[in-house]
Amino acid sequence: MIVVAAGILLVTLQLTHEARYSLAESFRYAAFQVVSLTSTTGLVTADTSLWPLFSIILLIYFSFQCGMVGSTAGGIKFDRIYLFFSSVSKQLKLLLHPNGVYALKIDKRVIEHELELQIMVFIILYIFTFFITTLLLSAMGVDGLTAFSASYATLGNVGPGFGEVGSMGNYSSLPDTAKYLLSANMLLGRLEIMNIFALFVMAGRK
């Protein structure tokens, strides 16, 4: 909630500073779009493609983050992002104090090393899938911005992105092959990438 509130506040302040809307309107639009992306409802009330770059980057971040682990939202999930940065901090401390003992905690519960590694693998697979999807869309002739945003938007199941798939656009103009690829992306994001890859590993062993 703190991260979402901070995102809403930052977007509100910039939209007001840029004189796009009044303070009340800026807050309404910012709150709706940030919450819509975080909860993956996919609803829009403004053309976010016209917003300042700083606000767009924040919206992209929330499209990657989405909800919490255990929720039906897509994306990497906030818990994993939090533990990722906690793990980075732990590794930096170990570089300075190799004999130190440091534990990751969330809600006062110690996170086992195996779970920590699993989270790192999940994030790497997520980013790798996003990169490959963007690359394949580009090879199909989709422009860079649309390929980039369609990849993360479908993986996170957030709906709107930017470019041709922006908040005032849709996916209808994309090639049929791209639509099949992005549909697979949506399944990967909704059903969790690790689960799908595990199914392929099990099938390969048979």
Q: Which amino acid is at 160?
A: P
Look at residue 198 in the predicted model and tell me its pLDDT.
Answer: 78
Q: Do residues 125 and 61 share a domain?
A: no
Q: At what angle do helices 53-65 and 2-17 cross, to 10 degrees?
A: 160
Look at residue 30 in the predicted model and tell me its pLDDT.
Answer: 94
Residues 42-85: tens digit of each pLDDT:
888 888 988 999 999 999 999 998 887 777 778 898 888 988 99
Q: Do residues 121 and 195 share a domain?
A: yes
How far is the C-alpha of 49 from the C-alpha of 61, rounded, in Å?
15
Of residues 73 and 177, the one with the higher pLDDT is 177
Tokens of 106: 């969330």
What are residue 105's DSSP bridge partners?
110
Say if 82 falls within a structural domain. Answer: no
Could you say which of 27, 45, 65 is where a domain stops? 65
Look at residue 35 in the predicted model and tell me its pLDDT.
Answer: 92
Look at residue 2 in the predicted model and tell me its pLDDT.
Answer: 87
Say if 81 falls within a structural domain. Answer: no
Whether residue 199 is predicted with pLDDT greater than 90 in this model: the reply is no
pLDDT > 90: percent of the chain? 48
Residues 88-115: tens digit of each pLDDT:
998 899 999 988 888 888 878 888 888 8
What's 71's DSSP letter?
A: S
Q: At what angle do helices 113-139 and 176-191 cross, to 10 degrees?
A: 170
Q: Do residues 129 and 197 share a domain?
A: yes
Please answer whether residues 118 and 194 qualify as being in contact, where contact means their C-beta atoms are separated by less than 8 angstroms.
yes
Q: Do residues 49 and 123 share a domain?
A: no
Say if 54 falls within a structural domain. Answer: yes
Please answer whether residues 26 and 20 qualify as being in contact, where contact means their C-beta atoms are separated by less than 8 angstroms.
yes
What's 40's DSSP letter?
A: T
Whether residue 202 is predicted with pLDDT greater than 80 in this model: the reply is no
Say if 126 falls within a structural domain. Answer: yes
Quick one: average pLDDT of 119-134? 92
Return the closest-CA partner of residue 119 out of 92, 90, 93, 82.
82
Q: Do residues 51 and 121 share a domain?
A: no
Report the 10 Å Cβ neighbour count for 181: 19
Say if 105 falls within a structural domain. Answer: no
- Structurally, how many domains does the chain consist of? 2
Quick one: average pLDDT of 152-162? 91
Look at residue 184 in the predicted model and tell me its pLDDT.
Answer: 92
Chain center to CA of 131: 13
Spatial CB neighbours of 126, under 8 Å, sequence gap ≥ 6: 76, 155, 193
Please answer whether residues 187 and 133 qualify as being in contact, where contact means their C-beta atoms are separated by less than 8 angstroms.
no
Say if 90 falls within a structural domain. Answer: no
pLDDT > 70: percent of the chain? 98
What's 45's DSSP letter?
A: S
Say if 32 falls within a structural domain. Answer: yes
Look at residue 206 in the predicted model and tell me its pLDDT.
Answer: 61
How many residues are listed for the chain in this entry?
206
Say if 158 falls within a structural domain. Answer: yes
Residue span of the structural domain in which 61 resides: 2-65
